[in-house]
Amino acid sequence: MSECCICKKCLGVTGDEGQGFDVAKIRQDFPILNRRIHQDKPLAYLDNAATTQKPSVVVCALCDYYQICNANVHRSLHLLADEATQHFEEARRRVVKFIHAHSEREVIYTRGTTESINLAAYSWGRRHIQAGDEIILTEMEHHSNLVPWQILAKERNAVLRFIPVLEDGTLDLEAYRRLLNPKVKLVGVVHISNVLGTVNPIQEIIADAHRAGALVLVDGAQSVPHMPIDVQALDCDFLAFSGHKMMAPTGVGVLYGKESVLEIMDPFMGGGEMINKVTLEGSTWADLPLKFEAGTPHISGAIGLGAAVNYLMGIGMEQVEKYEQELTHYALQKLTPIPGLKIYGRAPERSGAISFILDDVHPHDLAQFVDQAGVAIRAGHMCAQPLMRKLGVPAVSRASLYIYNLPCEIDQLVDAILEAKEYFSHGS
Ligand code: PMP
């Protein structure tokens, strides 16, 4: 563990002493955070929007599955297969609880947000989108909530419309309301922007869409890991998210769908697991959710996701959100005064994904420079090229926070940015 993680300042910001939240203790569950890199600098991992670190309990859940009960799920009659199936389905039940879904029938395992959205676009879209229909997206979508709809719209001769992003990084909701009309069949919206950090008012967006007769798909890749989510209260029709951004392994994610919507969708992929009866002439489908889970699933991934959900629920998602809000506030306070540092996204409701550009330093150069100081941040177009175009930049650097980060790691980033400013101003 880096020496700072129990410093007075860090403990001060973590707050809530006596209420069971202890960031130093949480960090002990993530041995990777103890690493020292590049001439013994403490690692400050601030690339959590790309992927998060995994606590030991998640890694252990994977080991236990492979070492104790490795078998395929759902189809064998022996003990190991029964145990594997129980763990796999128990993990699904935990996800149901985590997002307040109505039942297991509404939680489909996928490879991640990207596959979840593709599933919805293909299975729901192909059946329900006709020529001339309209799909509303936003200008701040990640490519994974844009490209699948572009493919569908081209195939169906449908029209894509976009809610504009305003100067401060919020959505133009008046423009959104003007876009709504009876031809709109779906609204696809990111809950929290991976670039701007904006927390979109999805409850309002969903209610307006429903009044206009459209369904809503929420890209929850950057929200589900960071705040309490209640799909029944939100009343969204679909919610897509990735395990690896919430402490679970890569290659597993979820598509939540309302049962009534999933019931009248065709399968996404055909094969084993997703069928009921097969003849040479045709097949019938398995019940939900297996109808959408063709082939052998990512069993260990799902079990790991269950362990991650358990871990997060142990901390409490209200607590996760509260701590991250404090940390984000601290980060913005520290970063904003840096001369020449432009932060993109000033929405009043925002998350800990903070994108910026320093003077005329290329974001890749900045990310490489701060890496030498032990700080891991991301640089690039963040899979949001249309948004980059709107912002008038080819790329940004992005620091993104999670529950195990510390104020002193933000200080480490700030010091590294100041050093970079000095270094690059000399034209070296
Ligand atoms: N949507 C958003 C908002 C994201 O941040 C990401 C990941 N960066 C994705 C979708 C895609 O997630 P995945 O690569 O896990 O499918």
What tens digit of pLDDT does each residue of 141-179 get?
999 999 999 999 999 999 999 999 999 999 999 999 999
Q: How confident is the model at residue 121 (pLDDT cuts 50, 70, 90)?
A: very high
* Rounded percentage of the chain residues whose pLDDT exceeds 90: 94
What pLDDT score was predicted for residue 7?
A: 56
Which is it for strands 41-42 and 353-358: parallel, antiparallel or unpaired? unpaired
What pLDDT score was predicted for residue 21?
A: 83
What pLDDT score was predicted for residue 5?
A: 45
User: CB of 384 closer than 6 A to ligand 1?
Assistant: no
Is 5 catalytic? The answer is no
User: CB of 114 closer than 6 A to ligand 1?
Assistant: yes
Residue, of 333 and 4, whose pLDDT is higher? 333
Residue 377 CA to ligand 1 center (angstroms) comes to 16
What pLDDT score was predicted for residue 342?
A: 98
419, pLDDT greater than 60: yes
Task: Compute the chain's Rg from CA coordinates.
Answer: 22
User: CB of 190 closer than 6 A to ligand 1?
Assistant: yes
State which CATH number among 3.50.50.60, 3.40.718.10, 3.90.1150.10, 3.40.20.10 fits the domain covering 317-425: 3.90.1150.10
Identify which of 258, 242, 299 has the alpha carbon closest to the alpha carbon of residue 105: 258
Q: What are the pLDDT digits (tens) for 30-45?
A: 999 999 999 999 999 9
Nearest CA, atom 8, ligand 1: 50
Q: How far apart are CA 230 and CA 130, in angstroms?
A: 31
What pLDDT score was predicted for residue 6?
A: 43
For residue 84 the two structure tokens come to 């594997």
Residue 244 CA to ligand 1 center (angstroms) comes to 10
What pLDDT score was predicted for residue 8?
A: 56
Q: How far apart are CA 425 and CA 307, in angstroms?
A: 47
- Residues 6 or more apart whose Cβ sits within 8 Å of residue 365: 420, 424
Contacts made by residues 79-88, CB under 8 angstroms, sequence distance 24+? 84/299, 87/303, 87/306, 88/297, 88/299, 88/302, 88/303
Q: How confident is the model at residue 18 (pLDDT cuts 50, 70, 90)?
A: very low
What pLDDT score was predicted for residue 13?
A: 53
Q: How far apart are CA 367 and CA 306, in angstroms?
A: 33
- Could you say which architecture CATH assigns to the domain 79-313? 3-Layer(aba) Sandwich (3.40)
Q: How far apart are CA 358 and CA 184, in angstroms?
A: 41
From the list 5, 69, 236, 383, the catalytic residue is: 383
11, pLDDT greater than 80: no
For residue 234 the two structure tokens come to 């939100």
Q: What is the mean pLDDT of the chain?
A: 95
317, pLDDT greater than 60: yes
Q: How far apart are the first and last CA of the chain?
A: 34
User: CB of 217 closer than 6 A to ligand 1?
Assistant: no
- Residues 6 or more apart whose Cβ sits within 8 Å of residue 340: 358, 359, 421
Residue 146 CA to ligand 1 center (angstroms) comes to 11
Q: What are the pLDDT digits (tens) for 248-266?
A: 999 999 999 999 999 999 9
Q: What are the pLDDT digits (tens) for 340-367?
A: 999 999 999 999 999 999 999 999 999 9
Residue 190 CA to ligand 1 center (angstroms) comes to 10
Domain ranges of the chain: 79-313, 317-425
Nearest CA, atom 5, ligand 1: 194
User: CB of 222 closer than 6 A to ligand 1?
Assistant: yes
User: CB of 141 closer than 6 A to ligand 1?
Assistant: no
What pLDDT score was predicted for residue 255?
A: 99
Q: How far apart are CA 355 and CA 370, in angstroms?
A: 14
9, pLDDT greater than 80: no
Compute the average pLDDT of residues 371-398: 97
In 48-204, DSSP assigns E strands to 107-110, 134-138, 159-163, 184-190
What pLDDT score was predicted for residue 426?
A: 77
Residue 425 CA to ligand 1 center (angstroms) comes to 34
Nearest CA, atom 4, ligand 1: 221
218 bridge partner residues:
189, 239
User: CB of 319 closer than 6 A to ligand 1?
Assistant: no
170-209 as b/e, with b when 16 or more CB fall inside 10 Å?
Answer: bbbeeebeebbeebbbbbbbbbbbbbbbbbbbbeebbebb
1, pLDDT greater than 50: no
DSSP 8-state code for residue 339: T
Which is it for strands 134-138 and 184-190: parallel, antiparallel or unpaired? parallel
4, pLDDT greater than 70: no
Identify which of 219, 195, 225 has the alpha carbon closest to the alpha carbon of residue 205: 219
298, pLDDT greater than 50: yes
For residue 310 the two structure tokens come to 């358990």
Tell whether the torsion through CA atoms of 305, 311, 316 and 319 is positive or negative: negative
For residue 1 the two structure tokens come to 């563990």
286, pLDDT greater than 60: yes
Q: What are the pLDDT digits (tens) for 213-243?
A: 999 999 999 999 999 999 999 999 999 999 9
What pLDDT score was predicted for residue 45?
A: 98
Compute the average pLDDT of residues 99-111: 98
Q: What are the pLDDT digits (tens) for 239-252?
A: 999 999 999 999 99
DSSP 8-state code for residue 171: B
Q: How confident is the model at residue 12 (pLDDT cuts 50, 70, 90)?
A: low
Tell whether the torsion through CA atoms of 34, 381, 255 and 323 is positive or negative: positive
Compute the average pLDDT of residues 188-195: 98
